[in-house]
Amino acid sequence: MYGSAQTIPRSCAKVSETTVARAAKGMSRTIFLVLDDAAVAGAVQKLLVNSRDEPFNVEWVTRCCDGIERLLSRRGENIAATVVDLFLPDSQGIESFDLLFRASPNVPILVLSSLRDEDVARLAVQRGAQDYLLKERLDEYTLPKAVTTMLARSAHSEARLLEEQRAQVTLASIGDAVVSTDVAGNVTYLNPVAERMTGWYRQEACGRPLQEVLRIIDADSREPALNPLALAILKDKTVGLSGNCVLVRRDGYESAIEDTAAPIHDARGQVTGAVIVFHDVGVARAMSLRMSHLAQHDSLTGLPNRVLLNDRLNQAIEMARRHSQSLAVLYVDVDRFKHINDSLGHAVGDRLLQSISRRLVACVRSSDTVSRPGGDEFVVLLSEVGCAEDALCAADKIRAAMAAPHRIDQLDLHVTVSLGVGLYPDDGTDAETLLENADRALLRAKADGRGGSQLFEPEIDVHAARGKKPGYGASSSDSAANPTGRRDAGA
């Protein structure tokens, strides 16, 4: 028991059947009275139990200490609201409110005051009381209405607090960084991911200008990027960063990001700030670039594959057409490469192809392209040549570079290459025709003997050339003996 705590009997009040039914469903609430005057307490109880809006259970104590003990007890959880007179036997004035409010700050308090003590009641409202009523003006409408309104307001506040807590938990749990600002552009919130990515703790960042906390630059120009939140507020719509933005953390660490910024509106639709959601795309972007590279390059040599070759050849043809220039395509085939694979194994053959690709790249200009469509064939695109002789000079340079031994696993491998040359626009005005005619010239070069170069000639009998390809006759160098540690891979 709690000192003089009492449950005021409800038998003195007539309760409607509807009220009883609602109470039976568990909708009743307990109003806790901390009042010194028994007459006032009885009048309050009568007004509450006869309320048409809500059935109330009423408990009553006369001293502040008993009220604190009741609020702090386990049964205090059942109290919906407290009605208090600030002038009690053991406590006077605003001190009474402060003690009760500290005991249970989540229970709303309605102050009953005499007219002469109204200033104290107003002070209590400033310190957290929901409202106050004058004892001289209590009636069957005012008091129940005040209590019902107070409970509704308290329920709304609790629901709002719960919603905010859920939002906080959600924002703290998601994998994206979240930063919000007020309409002036000052930071009002960072979630944990944003703290990690920016290097700022929420307590430090709040109140600071967004540009100080969220440093975003263009990856290429290194200039500050447009403020997405300011843009969202200005345009009053969702906006995003450009696709090449980098976030600079407080310690200077940089990470590529993608983001979306949106304005925040109040209940009247007015913009009150903005929120930006962003995430690190560095790994995804690197993976995308890697996948793009693998889709366009040979995995063994790192050279452009057929897809990228066709793209570059089409671009080169368009440029040559625009400037009335010539270009050349050199189809390069490693002579008797199958013999290498069969006798020394594919691992040695792969390393030989890598060595050949490096030498090919070294033989041409940076503006030219060396590609490996597959197997032991390479295609060299000379983006600008003056005449056919220039293309043949390039072919001679390549054959000379290949003639030097390739040192692989303590073996000096000697190989030769055959080349077919197609010229734009003489031998084709599109990529497919030009490559096909360069291949036909290569077949003719192979048929005439390995290690040579051949310009495309319209009268080449490609069928005859293809018929000779499988049965290349061995040259004198094919049967030459090789010293220990050296292997002749071709003529």
- CATH number of the domain at 31, please: 3.40.50.2300
Which carries the bigger pLDDT value, residue 337 or residue 478? 337
Alpha carbons 489 and 336: distance in angstroms, whole number: 7
Answer yes or no: do 108 and 191 share one domain: no
Overall domain count for the chain: 3
For 11-25, what is the mean pLDDT? 36
Question: Which of 248, 282, 316 lies at the terminal end of a domain, its last residue?
Answer: 282
Answer yes or no: do 159 and 262 share one domain: no
For 337-347, what is the mean pLDDT? 90
Answer yes or no: do 333 and 478 share one domain: yes
Alpha carbons 255 and 248: distance in angstroms, whole number: 7
Answer yes or no: do 252 and 353 share one domain: no
Which carries the bigger pLDDT value, residue 469 or residue 58? 58
* pLDDT value for 290: 79
User: Quick one: 350 exposed, middle or buried, by C-beta within 10 A (0-12, 13-18, 19+)?
Assistant: middle
Answer yes or no: do 353 and 392 share one domain: yes
For 386-397, what is the mean pLDDT? 93
Quick one: the chain helix, strand, coil %, rounded to 5? 45, 25, 30
* pLDDT value for 121: 93
Asked if residues 368 and 380 have their Cβ atoms less than 8 Å apart, the reply is: yes
Which carries the bigger pLDDT value, residue 268 or residue 462? 268
Answer yes or no: do 387 and 445 share one domain: yes
Answer yes or no: do 302 and 431 share one domain: yes
Answer yes or no: do 336 and 468 share one domain: yes
By annotation, the residues acting in catalysis are 376
List pLDDT tens digits, range 48-92. Answer: 887 777 678 889 999 999 999 999 987 657 888 999 999 999 999
Question: Which of 255, 282, 309 lies at the terminal end of a domain, its last residue?
Answer: 282
Q: Residue 145: pLDDT above 70?
A: yes
* pLDDT value for 330: 96
Q: φ, ψ for residue 262 (rounded to 5)?
A: -140, 150
For 441-448, what is the mean pLDDT? 91
Alpha carbons 193 and 130: distance in angstroms, whole number: 38
Asked if residues 214 and 179 have their Cβ atoms less than 8 Å apart, the reply is: yes
* pLDDT value for 51: 76
**DSSP at 364:** S
Which carries the bigger pLDDT value, residue 73 or residue 122? 122
pTM of the model: 0.48
Mean pLDDT across the chain, nearest whole number?
83
For 18-46, what is the mean pLDDT? 70
- Sorting pLDDT into bands at 50, 70 and 90, what band is 460? low
Answer yes or no: do 314 and 207 share one domain: no
Q: Which domain holds residue 179?
A: 174-282
Answer yes or no: do 235 and 266 share one domain: yes
* pLDDT value for 76: 59
Does residue 290 lie in a domain region? Answer: no
For 434-456, what is the mean pLDDT? 92
List pLDDT tens digits, range 246-263. Answer: 899 999 998 888 888 899
Question: Which of 137, 166, 195 lies at the terminal end of a domain, its last residue?
Answer: 166
